[in-house]
Amino acid sequence: MNNHITVLEIDGKALEHNLYYFKQKLQPTTKVLAVVKAFSYGSDDVLVAKFLANKIDYFAVAYAHEGIALREANIQKPILVLHPQIANLQSVIDYCLEPNLYSFEIFNAFLHLAKENSLRAYPIHLKFNTGLNRLGFLPSGIPKILDEISKNQHVKIQSLFSHLAASEDLNEREFTNKQIESFKNIAKQFENHLSYKPILHISNTSGVINYPEAQFDMVRIGIGLYGFGNDDFETSQLKNTHNLVSIISQIHEIKAGDSVGYNRAFVSKTPIKSATIPIGHADGISRGLGNKKGFVTINHQKAPIIGNVCMDMIMVDVTNIDCKAGDKAIIFDHQKTIQEFADVSGTITYEILTGISHRVQKVLKE
Ligand SMILES: *Cc1c(COP(=O)(O)O)cnc(C)c1O
């Protein structure tokens, strides 16, 4: 591996640890769907999917092209496309992806294509809106869906699902329980009319943690695989999977009164030493982390980012750190740092992870 560059090291052992942490919370028969959308939360969907393929039951991505990339990398597991979009339904079929159908518009479009392609019992997933108000049929659509499905040989309902709006927030327990109840009612109506039993699923990571009674037949785990639970305790039980590391490109001696970086945002009062690191906002280091809000770690010491974050680089204060060009600079290798970056940037850990850009090279260490 080239260690003269910025690289995101995906920790395979940590992924596996996190997967088994959630598995031990599940009934032995509950299936696991690994959510690998958005490049597996800012890492590398192909590397992660290959690593997890024989350890889980299902994959999910958001968009069709994400599923196509997995198929082109020879991933054979079933792949649920959460937001397939009508324009991409033919590619969904061509690549053996399984669409989420969430409205009559897309449902009818898919049934039409299924017939045109002479499909037989093609797996489709129906999503119901139980309160998130994002994507999903309303329960009032069930009779019409059943009517269409009962006379249709081209598709089969592989799963019925919904998504919780606030599973991480225990103050919303009443609302969440209502969502779960409403989902059970929906499932019952289908079970009364179908000769087979679709897979039922509603929980994401925090659903698994807070609502173990709502596992149904499968759970959809995203952020948990990548090391984050919904509170400090759960996160402490998980291992960090995204390790973002770089290197010092150059050291500068800065005299008192000299400035560092664009807009001269940092002007030194005293003589200091700065280090330039080849990672910038185009790589996912938010500009909000500039001006000492963020830091990197060099030789076990914190080096604050000084001045503005540039597109391709940051400069950090290494006055009191024994270091030279070529030394390793850790951007983050622990959930605590990722959480801190999220806090000071006014966002959530999901966005810090998914913000790691395509430009950063990725490797998976098993
Ligand atoms: C992204 C997503 C998930 C994964 O959620 P996490 O909180 O990351 O576990 C599950 N289900 C749906 C429908 C999603 O869009």
Per-residue pLDDT tens over the stretch 40-92: 999 999 999 999 999 999 999 999 999 999 999 999 999 999 999 999 999 99
* Catalytic machinery residues: 37, 262
Q: Give the model's pLDDT for residue 1.
A: 44
User: Domain 242-365: which topology?
Assistant: Lyase, Ornithine Decarboxylase; Chain A, domain 1 (2.40.37)
Q: Residue 253's pLDDT band (boundaries 50, 70, 90)?
A: very high
Domain ranges of the chain: 12-236, 242-365
State the closest ligand 1 atom to the C-alpha of 223, by its place in the atom list counted from 1: 8
pTM for this model (two decimals): 0.97
Instruction: Confirm if 203 and 215 have CB atoms less than 8 A apart.
Output: yes
CA 220 to ligand 1 centroid distance, Å = 6
Q: Is 1 exposed, middle or buried (0-12, 13-18, 19+ CB in 10 A)?
A: exposed
> Helix or strand or coil: residue 257?
coil
Mean pLDDT over residues 249-274, rounded?
97
Decide whether any atom of ligand 1 lies within 6 Å of the 248 Cβ. no
Decide whether any atom of ligand 1 lies within 6 Å of the 32 Cβ. no
Sheet of strand 242-247, all strands in order from the earlier edge strand to the far edge: 250-254, 272-277, 314-317, 301-306, 295-298, 328-332, 242-247, 7-11, 361-365
Decide whether any atom of ligand 1 lies within 6 Å of the 354 Cβ. no
State the closest ligand 1 atom to the C-alpha of 83, by its place in the atom list counted from 1: 15
CATH class name, domain 12-236: alpha beta
CA 301 to ligand 1 centroid distance, Å = 35
Decide whether any atom of ligand 1 lies within 6 Å of the 10 Cβ. no
Q: Give the model's pLDDT for residue 3.
A: 57
Each residue's pLDDT tens digit, 171-191: 999 999 999 999 999 999 999
Strand partners, 323: none
Q: Give the model's pLDDT for residue 312.
A: 97
* Residue recorded with tokens 């590398």: 44
Q: Give the model's pLDDT for residue 316.
A: 98
